[in-house]
C-alpha cells in the first residue's frame, strides 16, 4: 500500500505530559482519512508534527515519502494545509491573498481558483478583516486547494461554521477526492461519516484504531437482549463487549468485533433464555461515544484500583 502519510511510534512530550504516545498509522494515497477524538486527544499535535510545525520527541513521520522534520519550502508545494485557528494577513483583500500565494505553487490552477471563488461567493475586493469567520475559512480553502495539492491536511476546518458553509466546503473537497489524499480532523462526526473512507480514533495520545470506515461499521453493533425476567449483574462480558447497561430484563451493550453468524451464536449461548436479541448497526457518532465512555470507565476503574492498592 502506498501511503501519503505514515508514522511509526510517533511521540510528542510537553514536559512530563505525553500529547502523543507511540502513534503508528498509514494513510493510503487517495483516501479521505478522518482523525477523531475528544478535545486534548492529540489530533492538532499530530497534524503539527506532520507539517513540521512541531518536532517529535520520538518516532518518525513521513509525508509524501519525505521526512516530516525536513519539510520546508518546495516540500509544501504538494500539500494544502488549513487549520481552525489559521492566521491570515487581515490587511490583504481576498484577491491580493490569492495573487500573493500563486507564485509559490507551480501547479496553481487559475481556472480552479476562479471556480472556487465563484462557488464560495467570495468578494475579491474585500479585506480579510472585514469578512465573517466562514468567509475567511473559504478564502483559506481557495488558497490551499487552487494548486491541486497531492495531500490536503485540514485541522478542525468546520468548527463553528454554519451548516451552509460546511456543505460548501465539503462539496469542494469531494470534487478533489481521488486526485488528492485528504487528512482531516473534526468534531463534526455527521459530516465526517458522509465524507471519510478511513477513520482513526485518538484517545489521550494513543491511537485506539485506524481502519476503513466500511470495516469499522461492519464490526460495531449495538446489541439489545430481552430476557424473561430481570437480569442479574454479569461480570464476565468478553473484552469485545463495551458500554454494558442492564435495566430490568433488558441488557444492552456494544459489540466491537461483530462477525455475523459466529458472533450471534456466541451471544445466544451466553443468553440461552433470551426472548429476543437484536443487532443494530451504529453511526460513527454512536461508535465514538461508546468507545470514549469505555475508555473513561476503564481509566476510572484503574484509578480506583490504584487507590485501593495504595491504601
Mean pLDDT by 10 residues, the chain (311 residues): 92 93 95 90 94 96 95 92 88 96 95 93 95 92 94 88 82 82 85 87 92 94 94 77 92 95 94 94 90 77 55 52
pLDDT at 172: 83
Contact 95, 122 (CB under 8 A): no
Count, residues in the chain: 311
Give the chain's domain count.
2
- Written as nine digits, the cell of 16 is 512530563
Please name which of 124, 161, 137, 47 lies closest in space to residue 88, comparing C-alpha atoms.
137
**154 neighbors 130 (Cβ within 8 angstroms):** no
Regarding whether 210 and 232 lie in a shared domain, the answer is no
> 23: domain CATH number?
3.40.50.300
Give the per-residue pLDDT at 174.
84
Instruction: State whether 27 and 110 are in the same domain.
Output: yes
Cα Rg of the chain (Å, integer): 23
Report residue 180: phi and psi, to 5°: -130, 150
Same domain, 93 and 186: yes
Same domain, 140 and 239: no
Same domain, 139 and 240: no
Domain final residue pick, 178, 199, 216: 216
CA atoms within 13 A on the CB side of 117: 19
pLDDT at 167 (0 to 100): 84
Looking at the structure, do residues 78 and 137 belong to the same domain, yes or no? yes
The strand pairing partners of 45, in sequence order, are none
Q: Quote the pLDDT of residue 299.
A: 60
- Quote the pTM value: 0.88
Domain containing residue 275: 220-310
Q: In the prediction, which pLDDT does 311 show? A: 52
Spatial contact of 271 and 227, defined as CB atoms under 8 Å apart: yes
Picking from 190, 216, 242, the residue at the C-terminal end of a domain is: 216
Amino acid at each position: 500500500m502506498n501511503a501519503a502519510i505514515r508514522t511509526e511510534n510517533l511521540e510528542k512530550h510537553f514536559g512530563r505530559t505525553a500529547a502523543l504516545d507511540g502513534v503508528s498509522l498509514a494513510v493510503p494515497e487517495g483516501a479521505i482519512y478522518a482523525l477523531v477524538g475528544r478535545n486534548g486527544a492529540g489530533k492538532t499535535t499530530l497534524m503539527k508534527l506532520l507539517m513540521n510545525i512541531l518536532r517529535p520527541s520520538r518516532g518518525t513521520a513521513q509525508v509524501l515519502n519525505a521526512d516530516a522534520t525536513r519539510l520546508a519550502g518546495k516540500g509544501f508545494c504538494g500539500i494544502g494545509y488549513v487549520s481552525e485557528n489559521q492566521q491570515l494577513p487581515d490587511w490583504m483583500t481576498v484577491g491580493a491573498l490569492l495573487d500573493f500565494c500563486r507564485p509559490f505553487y507551480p501547479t496553481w490552477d487559475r481556472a480552479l481558483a476562479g471556480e472556487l471563488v465563484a462557488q464560495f461567493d467570495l468578494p475579491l475586493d474585500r479585506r480579510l478583516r472585514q469578512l465573517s469567520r466562514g468567509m475567511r475559512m473559504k478564502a483559506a480553502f481557495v488558497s490551499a486547494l487552487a494548486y491541486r495539492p497531492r495531500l490536503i491536511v485540514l485541522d478542525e476546518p468546520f468548527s463553528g461554521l454554519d451548516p451552509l458553509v460546511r456543505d460548501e466546503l465539503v462539496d469542494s473537497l469531494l470534487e478533489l477526492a481521488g486526485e488528492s489524499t485528504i487528512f482531516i480532523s473534526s468534531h463534526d462526526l455527521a459530516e465526517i461519516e458522509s465524507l471519510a473512507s478511513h477513520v482513526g480514533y485518538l484517545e489521550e495520545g494513543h491511537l485506539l484504531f485506524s481502519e476503513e470506515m466500511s470495516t469499522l461499521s461492519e464490526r460495531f453493533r449495538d446489541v439489545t437482549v430481552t430476557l424473561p425476567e430481570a437480569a442479574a449483574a454479569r461480570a464476565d462480558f468478553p473484552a469485545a463487549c463495551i458500554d454494558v447497561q442492564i435495566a430490568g430484563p433488558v441488557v444492552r451493550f456494544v459489540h466491537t468485533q461483530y462477525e455475523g453468524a459466529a458472533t450471534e451464536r456466541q451471544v445466544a449461548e451466553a443468553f440461552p433464555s433470551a426472548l429476543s436479541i437484536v443487532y443494530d448497526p451504529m453511526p460513527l457518532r454512536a461508535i465514538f461515544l461508546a468507545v470514549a465512555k469505555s475508555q473513561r470507565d476503564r481509566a476510572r476503574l484503574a484509578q480506583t484500583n490504584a487507590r485501593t492498592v495504595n491504601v
